[in-house]
Amino acid sequence: MSFPVIYVAIILIFMLVALMRECLRPGLILFTAVVLLLVAGIITPEEAIKGFSNKGMITVALLYLVSEGVRKSGLLERIVFRMLPKKNASITSAGLRFYPIVTFISAFFNNTPVVVIFAPMIKNWARKMKLPPTKFLIPLSYATVIGGICTLIGTTTNLVLHGMLLQEAKDEAAIVANGGNEGILMRFGIDGMSMFELTKVGIFIALAGLIYLIFFSKYLLPDNRRSEEEAQEQDLAPGMTRHEVLLGNRFPGLGKTLHEFDFFRHYGAHVRAISRGGNILIGDYMNMKLTHEDTLIIDADDTFMKAWGDSRVFWMINRVGDYEPPLGKKKRWLALILLILMVVGATVGELEPVKLWLAQQSFVQQHMPALKLDMFFFVCVTTIIMAWTRMFSPRKYTKFFSWDVLITIACAFAISTAMTRSGFADYMAGYIISLTGIVQGTDYGIYVILAALFLITNIFTELITNNAAAALAFPLALAVSEKLGANPMPFVVCVCFAASAAFSTPIGYQTNLIVQGVGGYKFKDFLKVGLPMNIIVFILTVTLIPLFYQLN
């Protein structure tokens, strides 16, 4: 192996270990890897920063604002509140009513806000119905994941891979313009993914996943955690209300104890207990260092929710008690209309007849030659309308971005380039293709390659983060298709599903971490319930992709 291949391999190992050990936030770890690749001359300064201007990354950023606008309107709460049974509910009947709705919503809406909104609502509803909340919260997270894999905008992972395809197509066009040979994407006419590119296979995964969640998952899910219930039933002082708060990445007390970080001075609330990994911490919790996986049970007055309800200091603030859906009829209708127009516009705008018609309009060609009716266009328009109609606070809009996720995504482009430029992706692709030797002379080679690509990506996503896993697997998918001379789309789609299928651990997907804090789950709960989900997605992905995507 050459020096660049060995160097990139060492950097990737360092990055994986740092992510698993949570030495720093993922964005900083990936940026460190980019800098190390830059100083070694593996990538140029332009390649190191090109991800920060990528359409896919910026689309993810704008969708955070769109999600906030829809969240503030109260539209999602109203929908699910009407779907929850009001009496005589069972675990199965309740799942039949709202898991499909949650899955459908997540296909067009960022997963994290969906879970942040619905988790406390479902937990309070379950208590009211005298049902264990723990039977519903992990399935809630999984329902959002299988919904998100069905469309381009359902999860950031899909948009990241879409952005990588756009960047690769742009780079190939530049090579051809300079007299070089066309690349694999140009050969097959691929320029990103359409809105429903993933739906062909994703809909079957979603249906199978829903059947499992509704009818079988309840037997593997735990009952209520008594320690958490007891902490919430402690005596409450007059004039105070009890809340559960899940610490966010911006919480300034991470890594400190409650003795070192005065929670009352900062937020005017008293911490009654700390829940971590499904258990209330026993003993002197005031001297235990806080982590981003902790849920605090606090007592506060009525000003706490007003001051910190929209803050990114906390992922979620759940008042322990009954849920009252927000009002605002005009905003709900406007949010619904804008969401529908964004999805329909982006879908129709990508159709070939529409592109052809637009190209034939002399006025458009003369006065608006750069007009392109794609997802980026409609997300931009929707964001601006929401800002001017005050659907989210235009003075505080920057706090709605998850900056660490955006930096992680931007750095992922540079790391992907380094893997390709150094030859590391080709080396790994050759190894993956060599696995087909076990079925030499049969028609099963493609299934072995897809299975290997899925497992590599899925192991990464369970151990680190979904976006970082997508960054590592994307160049492998392109390299495999290049060596085979095959259509890259089946392999990229395989990476999409594998990078999102983070069911077996709480750290693979942010929604899993959120419900772990809310439901008091242990690590083994995710493994027990999530492993069958991983197997379902694996089998359907590997068997269905060759049926819906042509290799040649």
Pairwise CA distance, residues 211 & 139, whole Å: 11
What residues make up the domain containing 256? 229-319
The percentage of residues in the chain with a pLDDT greater than 70, rounded to a whole number, is 92
Q: What is the pLDDT of residues 256-286, one digit of tens each?
A: 888 888 888 888 888 888 887 667 777 778 8
Is residue 303, in this structure, part of any structural domain at all? yes
Q: What mean pLDDT do residues 349-356 have?
A: 79
Most confident of 29-33, 181-185, 443-447: 29-33
Q: Is the predicted pLDDT of residue 504 greater than 50, yes or no?
A: yes
Phi, psi of 456 (to 5 degrees): -60, -50
- CB-based contact 311:278 (threshold 8 Å): no
Q: In this predicted model, which residue has the larger pLDDT, 390 or 145?
A: 145
Say which CATH number the domain at 307 has.
3.30.70.1450
Q: What mean pLDDT do residues 2-27 have?
A: 88
Q: What mean pLDDT do residues 381-385 have?
A: 94
Q: How many domains does the chain have?
A: 1
- CB-based contact 441:20 (threshold 8 Å): no
Q: What is the pLDDT of residues 75-84, one digit of tens each?
A: 777 777 777 8
Both tokens of 309, joined, read 């309800």
Is residue 268, in this structure, part of any structural domain at all? yes
Confidence of residue 449 (pLDDT cuts 50, 70, 90): very high
Q: What mean pLDDT do residues 240-246 have?
A: 81
Q: Is the predicted pLDDT of residue 180 greater than 90, yes or no?
A: no
Confidence of residue 211 (pLDDT cuts 50, 70, 90): very high
Is residue 308, in this structure, part of any structural domain at all? yes
Q: Is the predicted pLDDT of residue 326 greater than 60, yes or no?
A: no
Confidence of residue 501 (pLDDT cuts 50, 70, 90): very high
Confidence of residue 322 (pLDDT cuts 50, 70, 90): very low
Q: Is the predicted pLDDT of residue 248 greater than 80, yes or no?
A: no
Is residue 307, in this structure, part of any structural domain at all? yes
pLDDT at res. 251: 84
Q: Is the predicted pLDDT of residue 178 greater than 60, yes or no?
A: yes
Confidence of residue 324 (pLDDT cuts 50, 70, 90): very low
Q: How many residues does the chain have?
A: 552
Q: In this predicted model, which residue has the larger pLDDT, 242 or 4?
A: 4
Q: Is the predicted pLDDT of residue 325 greater than 80, yes or no?
A: no
Confidence of residue 128 (pLDDT cuts 50, 70, 90): confident
Is residue 234, in this structure, part of any structural domain at all? yes
* Pick from 447, 451, 446, 492: nearest CA to 184: 492
Is residue 87, in this structure, part of any structural domain at all? no
Is residue 37, in this structure, part of any structural domain at all? no
Pairwise CA distance, residues 347 & 354, whole Å: 10
CA dist 473 → 111, 244, 291, 453, 551 (Å): 22, 37, 29, 8, 19
pLDDT at res. 477: 93
Is residue 96, in this structure, part of any structural domain at all? no
pLDDT at res. 430: 87
What is the secondary structure of 392-453 as a DSSP string?
Answer: S-TTSGGGGS-HHHHHHHHHHHHHHHHHHHHSHHHHHHHHHHHGGGGGTTSS-HHHHHHHHH
